[in-house]
């Protein structure tokens, strides 16, 4: 079995969010499971600056309208030595950002990622044959389309994984010549979406199978509330759509071996967690009281993450005897509002605006309670990390949050966190209050913490599900070939 991942992010080389975590870790887990795996990735400037990459001697060239553009292919290694082919075209990828700057998206993203998808298919042709091309999000969503309709089509089956349906790759009709496709495909039945070109819609329609990153999100995206306008197209392909919950990389996120945190700890020895809490309280000049509940947030500051709910309730929350530490970066309006909180609530809150992996680990270890009030959440990783760190999640029951968190029932002792359903500050606050009520009952709290720490969301399970899917799509092809014969 040979699988080529085509994606715009992959840890450890480059990540802006969960997509990068998933691609790198899944590739590694598949390789450990005996699948011959590689990743195709743009050669961003920061990757070339930070990681060793060797030339492969391979060049790929593609047409974009009436232009020809080429790329040199370099090779780096990701998890466990899985090869990452870096597609190097400095006109497109030697920039400070991946998709844009703080001011907005790069204006030539249609061209950059049409180029990337086409170049990845050329790369696949030169290094294959591959059984499966596994594409991730809109940045590689033209690959399934062009693999079916384009000039260089191959026998490989394509899988399209949707990590976040809100990002679709929408571009004006004037960019159509870049795709090199017949104009007959610019219709609502194909790639057109309210007068624009929709890359992800193409991937959804032309991939052999679709996945998304949790079971609940796979259901939700079939509805107008979560479907972002693509619910109809997704319903058409419902039979080929599956939710496979992401795993997490416990080599990186494990309090027993984490190098970023003050003290290591584990289920049998929780003293280290108290030391981590004290360390962070000190860092943010908060009173170092072990019994005061410490709440943590690590998040992109975006509408998706329910930051408006947090801002709705933050004054009421901080009127209680608790502490809150927030690490986040994103929308300017949220950054400003959150950065202003410590002045209004000294001794209750610590805030860090920015992206800081070490601090993310420290917060997971130090906090008693982790907050994720997301409006929608395809999978979510932080609540899963929280479980492992004995940090009890309070989450909204949506997408992967709903799949991974079970509401704690003090009577039966079952459950690993606290959930609320309605998207309102009131519901969020009441879930936090339920958590705090259990927190003061030491025995019950030990229970909910232990339940979370015992859970196993490692990649091996998810990789096995993907492998089964790959076999299925290849099996379909084999059966079809037999029929023709
Ligand atoms: P999303 O991909 O929607 O941002 P996920 O929960 O799936 O959300 O993944 C987010 C990943 O990015 C996690 O690994 C999380 O720790 C990390 N992360 C998010 N914001 C920050 C930040 N400000 N600093 C450090 N890490 C962050």
Please give the pLDDT value at position 483: 45
Q: Which of 321, 327, 315, 263 lies closest to 287 in space, CA to CA?
A: 321
142-161 burial, b at 16+ Cβ within 10 Å, e below that, comes to bbbbbbebbeeeeebbbbbb
* Ligand 1 pocket member 360 (CB < 6 A): yes
**Atom in ligand 1 nearest the alpha carbon of residue 15:** 12
* Ligand 1 pocket member 356 (CB < 6 A): yes
Q: Using the 8-state DSSP alphabet, how is residue 262 labeled?
A: S
Please give the pLDDT value at position 476: 55
Nearest CA to ligand 1 atom 15: 382
- Section 109-117 average pLDDT: 98
pLDDT in tens, 396-440: 999 999 999 999 999 999 999 999 999 999 999 999 999 999 999
Q: Which of 416, 414, 419 lies closest to 453 in space, CA to CA?
A: 416
Q: Which of 182, 388, 138 lies closest to 270 in space, CA to CA?
A: 388
Please give the pLDDT value at position 150: 79
* Ligand 1 pocket member 21 (CB < 6 A): yes
Cα 322 from Cα 313, distance rounded (Å): 14
Q: Tell me the CA–centroid distance for residue 384 and ligand 1, in Å.
A: 12
Q: Quick one: pLDDT band at residue 265, thresholds 50, 70, 90?
A: very high
User: What percentage of residues in the chain have a pLDDT greater than 70?
Assistant: 97
**Atom in ligand 1 nearest the alpha carbon of residue 16:** 12
* Ligand 1 pocket member 260 (CB < 6 A): no
Copy the structure tokens of residue 22. 């998933």
pLDDT > 70? residue 485: no
Question: For residues 421 and 427, is the Cβ–Cβ distance under 8 A?
Answer: yes
* 162, β-bridge pairs: 212
202-232 burial, b at 16+ Cβ within 10 Å, e below that, comes to bbbbbbbbbbbbbbbbbbbbbeeebbbebbe
Q: Quick one: pLDDT band at residue 16, thresholds 50, 70, 90?
A: confident
Please give the pLDDT value at position 484: 42
Q: Tell me the CA–centroid distance for residue 226 and ligand 1, in Å.
A: 21
Cα 377 from Cα 369, distance rounded (Å): 19
- Section 203-210 average pLDDT: 98
Q: Tell me the CA–centroid distance for residue 13 and ligand 1, in Å.
A: 16
* Ligand 1 pocket member 16 (CB < 6 A): no
- Section 344-370 average pLDDT: 96
With a CB cutoff of 8 Å and minimum separation 6, the contacts of 50 are 13
**Atom in ligand 1 nearest the alpha carbon of residue 327:** 23
With a CB cutoff of 8 Å and minimum separation 6, the contacts of 346 are none
The SS3 of residue 401 is helix
* Ligand 1 pocket member 2 (CB < 6 A): no
Please give the pLDDT value at position 17: 83
* Ligand 1 pocket member 18 (CB < 6 A): yes
Domains defined along the chain, listed by start: 2-247+460-475 (3.40.50.2000), 271-455 (3.40.50.2000)
pLDDT in tens, 156-196: 999 999 999 999 999 999 999 999 999 999 999 999 999 99
Q: Quick one: pLDDT band at residue 70, thresholds 50, 70, 90?
A: very high
Copy the structure tokens of residue 69. 């553009």
Cα 69 from Cα 220, distance rounded (Å): 40
Q: Tell me the CA–centroid distance for residue 261 and ligand 1, in Å.
A: 18
Q: Which of 8, 18, 462 to mutate to test the pocket of ligand 1 (most atoms within 8 A of CB)?
A: 18
Q: Tell me the CA–centroid distance for residue 301 and ligand 1, in Å.
A: 10
Q: Tell me the CA–centroid distance for residue 377 and ligand 1, in Å.
A: 12
Between helix 199-206 and helix 142-149 the angle, nearest 10°, is 50
Residue 98: what are its φ and ψ, rounded to 5°?
-90, -50
* Ligand 1 pocket member 328 (CB < 6 A): yes
Q: Tell me the CA–centroid distance for residue 328 and ligand 1, in Å.
A: 9
- Section 292-304 average pLDDT: 97
- Section 445-450 average pLDDT: 97
* Ligand 1 pocket member 25 (CB < 6 A): no
Q: Which pTM does this prediction carry?
A: 0.93
Cβ-based burial of 356 (10 A; exposed 0-12, middle 13-18, buried ≥19): middle
Q: Which of 382, 386, 404, 459 to mutate to test the pocket of ligand 1 (most atoms within 8 A of CB)?
A: 382
Q: Quick one: pLDDT band at residue 117, thresholds 50, 70, 90?
A: very high
Q: Which of 470, 460, 39 lies closest to 251 in space, CA to CA?
A: 460
pLDDT in tens, 74-89: 999 998 899 999 999 9
* Ligand 1 pocket member 381 (CB < 6 A): yes
pLDDT > 60? residue 482: no
* Ligand 1 pocket member 423 (CB < 6 A): no
Please give the pLDDT value at position 477: 53
């Amino acid at each position: 079995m040979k699988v080529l991942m085509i994606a715009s992010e992959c840890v450890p080389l480059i990540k802006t969010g969960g997509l990068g975590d998933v691609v790198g870790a899944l590739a590694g887990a598949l390789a450990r499971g005996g699948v011959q795996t590689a990743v195709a990735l743009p050669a961003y400037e920061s990757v070339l600056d930070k990681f060793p990459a060797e030339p492969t001697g391979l060049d790929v060239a593609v047409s974009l309208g009436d232009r020809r553009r080429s790329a040199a292919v370099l090779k780096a290694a990701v998890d466990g030595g899985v090869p990452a082919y870096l597609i190097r075209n400095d006109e497109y990828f030697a920039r400070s950002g991946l998709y844009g700057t703080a001011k907005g998206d790069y204006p030539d993203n249609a061209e950059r990622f049409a180029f990337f998808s086409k170049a990845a298919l050329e790369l696949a042709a030169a290094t294959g044959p591959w059984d499966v091309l596994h594409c991730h999000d809109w940045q590689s969503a033209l690959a399934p389309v062009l693999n079916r309709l384009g000039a260089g089509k191959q026998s490989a089956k394509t899988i399209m994984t949707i990590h976040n349906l809100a990002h679709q790759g929408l571009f004006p009709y004037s960019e159509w010549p870049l795709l090199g496709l017949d104009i007959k495909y610019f219709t609502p039945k194909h790639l057109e979406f309210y007068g624009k070109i929709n890359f992800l819609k193409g991937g959804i329609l032309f991939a052999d199978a679709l996945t998304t990153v949790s079971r609940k999100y796979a259901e939700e995206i079939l509805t107008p509330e979560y479907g972002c306008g693509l619910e109809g197209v997704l319903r058409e392909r419902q039979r080929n759509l599956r939710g496979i919950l992401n795993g997490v990389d416990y080599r990186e996120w494990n309090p027993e071996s984490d190098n970023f945190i003050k003290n290591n700890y584990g289920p049998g020895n929780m003293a280290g967690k108290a030391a981590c809490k004290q360390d962070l309280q000190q860092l943010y000049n908060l009173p170092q009281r072990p019994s005061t509940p410490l709440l943590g947030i690590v998040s992109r500051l975006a509408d998706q993450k329910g930051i408006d709910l947090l801002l709705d309730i933050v004054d009421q929350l901080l009127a209680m005897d608790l502490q809150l530490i927030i690490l986040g970066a994103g929308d300017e309006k949220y950054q400003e509002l959150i950065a202003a909180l410590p002045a209004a609530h000294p001794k209750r809150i610590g805030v860090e605006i920015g992206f800081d992996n070490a601090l993310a680990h420290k917060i997971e270890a130090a906090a008693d309670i982790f907050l994720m009030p997301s409006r929608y959440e395809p999978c979510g990783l932080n609540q899963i990390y929280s479980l492992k760190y004995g940090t009890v999640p309070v989450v909204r029951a949506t997408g992967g949050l709903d799949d991974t968190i079970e509401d704690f029932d003090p009577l039966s002792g079952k459950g690993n966190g606290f959930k609320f359903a309605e998207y309102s500050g009131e519901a969020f606050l009441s879930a936090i209050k339920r958590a705090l009520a259990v927190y003061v009952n030491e025995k019950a709290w030990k229970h909910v913490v232990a339940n979370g720490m015992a859970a196993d969301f490692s990649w091996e399970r998810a990789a096995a599900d993907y492998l089964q899917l790959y076999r299925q799509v290849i099996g379909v092809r084999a059966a079809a070939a037999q029929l023709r014969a």
